[in-house]
Structures are given as structure tokens and as C-alpha cells.
Structure 1
Amino acid sequence: MKVTQNLWFEKDMEAAIGFYTSLIPGSSIQSISGLPADTPSGPAGSVRIGVFTLGDQRYMAIEAGPLDPFNHSFSIMVECETQAEIDHLWDALKEGGSTEQCGWLKDRWGLSWQITPKRLGELMGDSDSDTARRVTEAMLGMVKLDIAGLEAAARGS
């Protein structure tokens, strides 16, 4: 049994998945093709399917015109080891999109992303409830997450 996330793009699917796979190490596009039959979304060849991986996750994308726009009920979370990784992904994905609180942003295609440091989960799961609270409060006050700021909150400084 395989589980694959599916993303519906109104347009520019190939550009989007090319961009995504260029940003996330270990990612690749397996195939891009047009459906060979007429569909409710258009004539043969107009509906396109892309199969790709982001890191260790499988995705399929369809470009089939307007349906439902992306929203917060689905997001891609990328857990980063370093602030440099966070900064790189954040800067690339926010271009043409919008930023939000707590490490969330929407890219130019409207897809929601959570760019988070691995350290956040460790700090929020600290056995000292005061440390976890301070880190959580610090995270809630951030837009792009900052590892040094989270570490400072954990120390109480």
C-alpha cells in the first residue's frame, strides 16, 4: 500500500513542482504528462499530471483549471536543522506569496508551508513545563522562526 499527497493546481503546475524540487534536498520529478483523454476539465492533453518527491514524501500534482484553492487545511511542513536552511527556504518560498505567524507562509501558488527548526519540537517538548511555555510563547510571537530566539526563550533570557 502506498500513500501519496495530491495537489490540484489551476495552472503552472510544472513550474511549481520544479521550484519545490529545486529547494528540498533529495527531491525529484518522476514524470509529467498530459491525460490522453478528454476530461470534464478539458480536452485530451490539457489536463497535466506530475509525479514527484519532496525529500522522503511522495506527491502527485494535477493541473486542471480552477476548482478549490489551497488553504490552511493542508500544508507542507519542512523541518530544518539550521537557521541557514530556514532562511533559504523562507526567502525562496515567500517570493510572490505571503508570510504568516508561527513559521507559516503561502507561496506564489497559494500552497501553505510551515518552515520549522527541528529544535522547536525538542524545546516545546521539554520536561520543564516553564521552558516549554516560554518557547511556545516565543514561537507564537514570531513570523519566520528564529532558532536563537527560541533557545533564548528556553533559557529564560
Structure 2
Amino acid sequence: MGLKQAITPYLWFDGTAEEAANFYVSVFPHSRILTVAHYSGIDPEREGQVLAVLFELDGVKFGAINGGPMFKLSEATSFLIDCRTQEEIDFYWEKLGAGGQYQACGWLKDRFGLSWQVNSQELVEKAHADPAISRRVMAVMMEMTKIDLAALEKAAAGA
């Protein structure tokens, strides 16, 4: 029996939940759509339309709900993609950023409005462990849009 995921993030969309879930599943390895629920007897105007989608991204469950226009995704919530190589950073940067907005310090907003941090958790943890390293790395990172691991590693090393 597998481990149960205790917390499942749900993302709010205005009619694009299934499209967004299918897009994310196409980007991340080991991902799949689990279920698609439709409006049925809840709202006659939306009868038969997609209500919610449950999906996995690299083994992590997410939900997407078509809740309507009253709430929007924002940078207040983001997901960090822990990349080990520059090639991984380049891949996610291009795939998720297409049709969206590239932002500073390795952040981007995809075409659905969801914010992602495309970075290296290992490098972030290394920088946070030492204030001097953190200042150097952050100074270099603040000048970047897409993360350049070699430049950040060089800054961490004090070069």
C-alpha cells in the first residue's frame, strides 16, 4: 500500500482547469490525469462542463477546479521546481514560460497564470546556510531572469 499524500493543493481556474491539467501533465515526467468530474445537478448553466480535475505531477497530487472568474492565480502562491542541471532549468523555463511571462530570479508565470520558480533547491539551501554566500548569490540572482547555475555557483564560491 502506497503512502497517502496528506495535503493536496487545488488551483482555481475560470473554465481552463482541464486544459491546464493536461498541459502540466505533458511537461512533467511521471504525471497523469487521475479523474475529471463534471457539473451534474449543481449548476444548470454549467451542466456537463468540467468541474474539477485531479492529476499527478511527478507523483504529487494536485486538483484544478473551474470555480469561475471571481478568484485569480497570483504570485502569492508558486511552485519551486528543483532542477539539478542547467538543461533541466532550460527545459522547464521554455515549456512552462511559453505564452506566459518571464520574471526575475527564475520566476515565471505560465499561460494559465500559475507562478513557478525554476531553480536549484540545493543552491538555495547552500546560499541560506551562510550569510556571506547568500549575499553574493542573491546579488547575482537579482540580475537574472532565467537562472544561470554556473554564474550562481561561481558567486557561491566567491569568484
CA distance in 1, matches of 2:118, 2:60: 16
CA distance in 2, matches of 1:23, 1:149: 26
The two structures have a TM-score, normalised by structure 1, of 0.89
CA distance in 2, matches of 1:16, 1:90: 17
Counterpart for residue 26 of structure 1:
30
Checking the alignment, whether the CA contact within 8 Å between 2:36 and 2:50 is kept in structure 1 is no
Counterpart for residue 8 of structure 1:
12
Structure 2 portions without partners, runs of 5+: none
Checking the alignment, whether the CA contact within 8 Å between 1:37 and 1:45 is kept in structure 2 is no
Checking the alignment, whether the CA contact within 8 Å between 2:18 and 2:50 is kept in structure 1 is no
Counterpart for residue 102 of structure 1:
105
Q: Deviations over 1:31-69 (max 9, x none)?
A: 1120212339x4322342100111232111112331211
Counterpart for residue 133 of structure 1:
135
Counterpart for residue 72 of structure 1:
75
CA distance in 2, matches of 1:43, 1:103: 38
Match of 1:156, as an amino acid?
G
CA distance in 1, matches of 2:10, 2:16: 15
Q: CA RMSD in A?
A: 1.8
The reply to whether residue 143 of structure 1 matches residue 145 of structure 2 is yes
Match of 2:76, as an amino acid?
S
Checking the alignment, whether the CA contact within 8 Å between 1:47 and 1:64 is kept in structure 2 is no
Structure 1 portions without partners, runs of 5+: none
Return structure 1 stretches of 4+ with deviation > 6 angstroms.
none
